[in-house]
Chains A and B, each alone.
Chain A
Amino acid sequence: MEEARFRRRADVLLREHGDYLHGLARRLCRTHFDPDDLVQDVLEKTVRAPDAIPPGANERAWLSRVMHNLFIDRLRRKQARREDPITVDVPAVPKDEHAWWESLTVGDIRAKLAQLSEEQRATFELFAFEGKSYDEIAAQLGIAKATVGTRILRARTRLRELLTKERLDG
């Protein structure tokens, strides 16, 4: 039965990425949306779309990207309800086939870190790999909390540029 196959697939994805997806959903939703509902939506869209995740792709990145799209969709719908009845539609499953992040690995990111400025690299590492909060990083590096945010923002943007370039070149 197809339904049973969907369920098995959802089960596998959840076992592997459930914790991460729930954490990510909470980060996106905070108190403004229902995170459980978002996770469920991601699973549903993913298991039901044919070839939702291309072979060889980074599953977690893919699921996260679907979640991002569905989250933006929720935001826009909430907005649209309040303003005028325009319809919004964000494709839940990414259409850009050769996205830079599609088959990204931790190793790829680590390899590019060396090309960031020292400040950006240190801040990004503390946040992304050591799980420190802005406040903790600010205290540790002796910089303002806002500066932590700016550095992380710049680091991510730079990484995306470097990783996109590599994809195009390679």
Chain B
Amino acid sequence: MAECEHLARTTAYFDGALPEAEQPAALEHLAGCAECQAVLGDAVVLDAVASSTPRAAATVAPVASRAWLRTVALVGGLAAAAAVAYVVWPRHGAEAPQVALELPRERAVEARFTGEQFAKHRPYGVLRGDRVVESIPLTTLAQLEKRGDRRELFAALVATGDLARAKQVAGELPHDAQGESDRAALAVATHDLEAALDHASRALELDPALAAARWNLGLAARELGLPRVSRAAFAQIATLQEPGWATEASAQVAKLDRELATAAERAAFHDRARAMVAGGPPITADDVTRFPAAARVYLLDALRVASGDGVKALRPLAEALDAATGTTTITAAADRAAAGAPRVRAPFVDRYRAVVAGTATPDEAERLVAELRAAGRAVDDVRAGAILRGDLATKHLDELRAIVAPWGDPWFDLAVERARIAATFPPGNAGAEAALTAALASCDNPAWTLRCGELAQDLAQRLVAAGRAADAESPATRAVAAYDLAGSRAQVKAARSLLADIHRATGRTALARAELDELALADPDHSGPPSP
């Protein structure tokens, strides 16, 4: 029998040599692999016996070194109702005075700890100096350890950068609000952001007033790209008026507001671009270079509805966009629009705008395509647009392909491929996965980023439908990133809620909740740009 290939990973997990990020997968495998379980079983007993030397051979004495309080509750089988709690270890350290910590004036870890001596605010100083860890004398650490000041020791270990040891101590912290908050702090420091969010959320469930936990939640959310959730956390801390912490929280809020202002600017761009398609003034060359991916959609729409002079006015923008993305295809589209007789194109303008604005019924979109078909080559580009924007690409796949094939424009070719996959593989057909993956592989120019988002979202949706939520995470994340890059808020929203669903389905509830909060906090008024 071939040996299981994961034996080494299982061994490394037990021996403390497997990075935290790889642990969940290792455990998932271990749960179902008898061979790995047997290997772990061997390791467990061999280490247990090996450890009997020479310490455990002598019975009681050395064990008493553990000074802190340990309570073991035994809940009985027969006396099921009666929970018996009793103290096993003598309470040596409990009355002893606290070990005083001489802490540097600035802190090196942005997260907050619950240890009392770390509660006082110290400015976060990592930006100023080259020192990235705090120096705390080893003897002080040893004293903390000896006294059993677990939370102080934990904070000190993270602050001094001894993360390996901190991780060990993390296992000894109780599973109360403070313990969970401190675990979140460590997870922030090691950039294990999802775990940070998870621990901080749990801490806040246990104690909603624990400022340190809310702080760590704010940090985790910020790093996870959930600025609204993060802002809400820091805004709440700012109201608590804790000296120092409140000021730093307000600074975080201001910084996040600036970030969110960029999002507002993006929304303003979409408003201007939509107005252009509806007959208003064109967007600017600056708009085009700042938002190239979304500008492509709007410029193509604007060309389809422009009069003769309108096309001339759009041409410099088309050139600017091609220059920005290293393409030639938008200028080519402007030439095609200019070649079509304005007299032939004019009657379709209003109805095309209705399709783009989403106010036309499917029947109206269908009728528009039929009339465009009858009107001949002069409106080919409008017909292609109506098929795509009217969501008729799957139905009129061959027609669309015939129109766009001579253009040699990946923007349209990718749309055709997406429609082909949808038409070829009905829901539940496993063939779609390979086809979508292949199409995504060719999606390499940021200019097509919205198309890539669509393909990735299709793939994610199919995987979710097939009950493979875990596999769907990667394409769903890609879809969010693609839409985000294009500044397409409505699509970001759709993809983000898909991602939240995936996280909920895979048991990552804290993350899913934060993602849904972020969506709820986002301004619901902007519908964002239309789908391309």
Contact = CB atoms under 8 A, between A and B. Distances in A.
A140 B7 CA distance: 24
A101 B50 CA distance: 12
Interface in A1-47: 2-3, 6-7, 10-11, 14-20, 22, 24-32, 34-36, 39-40, 43-44, 47
Contacts of A47: 74
Contacts of A3: 76, 78-79, 84
A40 B74 contact: yes
Contacts of B455: none
Nearest to A69: B41
Contacts of A145: 17
B37 A153 contact: no
Chain B interface main SS type? helix
B28 interface: yes
Given A26-B168, A31-B170, A134-B17, A64 B72 contact: no
Contacts of A17: 56
B429 interface: no
Contacts, number: 176
Interface string A150-170: 101100110110000000000
B138 interface: no
Contacts of B183: 31
Given A64-B44, A159-B46, A153 B39 contact: yes
B23 A18 contact: no
Nearest to B62: A19
Interface string B314-352: 000000000000000000000000000000000000000
Interface stretch (B8-16, B277-285, B442-450): B8-16
A64 B79 contact: no
Interface residues of B, number: 64
Given A31-B167, A34-B175, A76-B31, A127 B15 contact: yes
Q: Which of B12, B20, B78, B84 has the most CB of A within 10 A?
A: B12
Chain A interface main SS type? helix
B50 A43 contact: no
Interface residues of A, number: 70
Contact of A149 (B11, B31, B167, B506): B11
Contacts of B30: 72, 75
Contacts of A106: 49-50, 52-53
Nearest to B54: A106
Given A44-B75, A68-B41, 11 more contacts: A20-B56, A27-B16, A31-B195, A36-B174, A40-B72, A67-B44, A101-B46, A106-B50, A135-B17, A149-B11, A149-B17
26 contacts: A3-B78, A7-B86, A11-B88, A14-B88, A16-B59, A17-B56, A24-B47, A31-B195, A35-B171, A40-B74, A60-B51, A60-B52, A61-B45, A76-B31, A79-B31, A101-B46, A106-B49, A135-B17, A145-B17, A149-B11, A152-B11, A153-B7, A156-B11, A157-B42, A159-B42, A159-B46
Lowest 5 A-B CB distances belong to which pairs? A64-B48, A134-B17, A26-B171, A101-B45, A75-B31
